[in-house]
Amino acid sequence: MSAVPRVAAPETRTGLVRRARRIDRALAEHYPDAHIELDFDDSFQLLVVTVLSAQTTDRRVNAVRPILFAAYPDAAAMAAAPREHLEQLIGPLGFFRAKTDALLKLSAALVERYDGKVPPRLDDLVTLPGVGRKTANVVLGNAFGIPGITVDTHFGRLSRRFGWTDETDPVKVEHAVGALFPKKDWVMLCHHLIWHGRRICHAKKPACGACPVARWCPAYGEGPVDPLTAAKLVKTEGPA
């Protein structure tokens, strides 16, 4: 494989913005079906499954979701759920006692403060038990269509690999990267980076030789650059 040119340094602010947007456009072409990989029917379901997704996979949460919401379809029902039954339903996800406690407190807060509805405002969402900026932005962007940046492990890792920011604090990453893109692009930007991080730009061994944005990536070469070797590292779907 011919060498892929590395990003010239130092890079101007204008150059950084242009390169960042080129990367996003290329990822959009490579992942035309990118979307949130948690299943949900409404804002309450999305809030709950996002809380449940901590320290487990989206696929496992999706497997539990139907029976969970068949039993407790809204905040009022879940707030009144017997703890033992709720623990049983979400047991396969691990940390079920802590997650049950989180769901009971979260549902009760929704009932007490917002008449059982999920508020479509960041400032309100982050006051709910167990809800931080990451979870709030997932809900705002995917349930309400309100622009927000979800800084999960993949988004943070790729933002630094791409040289968009040196920050490690999620809130600082959110603001630094958000400044590079129009707000209308924020939600899909998150999907593009998360899909790329799960499928090609892995934490320990990125598949550099199979990367659609290698030409704009200053971290090119951290993983195998040989196309055949890199192709073996590519995952065709999100985590099992």
Catalytic residue among 134, 166, 172, 183: 134
pTM comes to: 0.92
Q: Is 215 exposed, middle or buried (0-12, 13-18, 19+ CB in 10 A)?
A: middle
Which of 70, 17, 29, 31 shows the shortest CA–CA distance to 235?
31
C-alpha 203/C-alpha 199 separation (Å) is 11
pLDDT at 7: 62
Catalytic residue among 39, 124, 152, 185: 152
Domains annotated on the chain, with CATH: 13-30+149-231 (1.10.1670.10), 43-143 (1.10.340.30)
pLDDT at 1: 41
pLDDT at 28: 98
Which of 120, 153, 113, 154 shows the shortest CA–CA distance to 137?
120
pLDDT at 239: 65
Which of 105, 112, 7 shows the shortest CA–CA distance to 47?
105
C-alpha 79/C-alpha 135 separation (Å) is 19
Q: How many CB atoms lie within 10 A of CB 233?
A: 18
pLDDT at 237: 78
- Asked if 74 is an active-site residue, the reply is no
Helix (H, G, I), strand (E, B) or coil at 183: helix
pLDDT at 111: 98
- Asked if 169 is an active-site residue, the reply is no
pLDDT in tens, the chain (240 residues): 444 555 656 899 999 999 999 999 999 999 999 999 999 999 999 999 999 999 999 999 999 999 999 999 999 999 999 999 999 999 999 999 999 999 999 999 999 999 999 999 999 999 999 999 999 999 999 999 999 999 999 999 999 999 999 999 999 999 999 999 999 999 999 999 999 999 999 999 999 999 999 999 999 999 999 999 999 999 987 765
